[in-house]
Amino acid sequence: MNRKTLRTGAVAVVAALAFGAAAATAQAVGQPTPAPAASSGVAVTKTHEQAARELASNLLKYEGDRFTASERAELQSIANGTAPQAYGKLDALLKLLKKVKGFASAVAKNYAAFKAWYNGLPWYVLYPLKAAGVGFDLYDIWILFH
């Protein structure tokens, strides 16, 4: 890819995030809002369910060919919002994180390696997670597997 294409893509991503944040803010009028993300640079604007739906959709769109038919069906049901409701607030996101490349090996290592893996995720995986505030729960996620 040339630099112009990358710059254009980056501008499109930033614009989409800005419009998405504005739409989520307008939609959330009258609803309690979570605290903004102080250190991540991305405002926490999505519920965990919304983030799970977006992440499932992005995984299907950008990495769908590496999943089996049953995994694609499961991702599609999460993306459509027709998957059974999870018990905990992070259940759907944890299920999706297990499908992200490198998760198993990263979580098996120390926390610093896991955090480096998380920060190196592609934008289409990282932004839904950051928008849901998963970065704040990152240590808790790592601890769950240790």
The answer to whether the beta carbons of residues 124 and 62 sit under 8 Å apart is yes
pLDDT surpassing 50 at residue 83: yes
38-42, 94-98, 112-116: range with lowest mean pLDDT: 38-42
| pTM of the model as a whole | 0.55
Task: Write down the residue that tokens 């729960």 correspond to.
Answer: 137
Strand ranges inside 1-146, DSSP E: none
Q: How confident is the model at residue 110 (pLDDT cuts 50, 70, 90)?
A: very high
Residues 95, 144: Cα–Cα separation, whole Å: 13
Encoding tokens for residue 60? Answer: 């299907």
At 4, is the pLDDT very low, low, confident or very high (cuts 50, 70, 90)? Answer: low
Task: Please tell me the predicted confidence (pLDDT) of residue 64.
Answer: 84
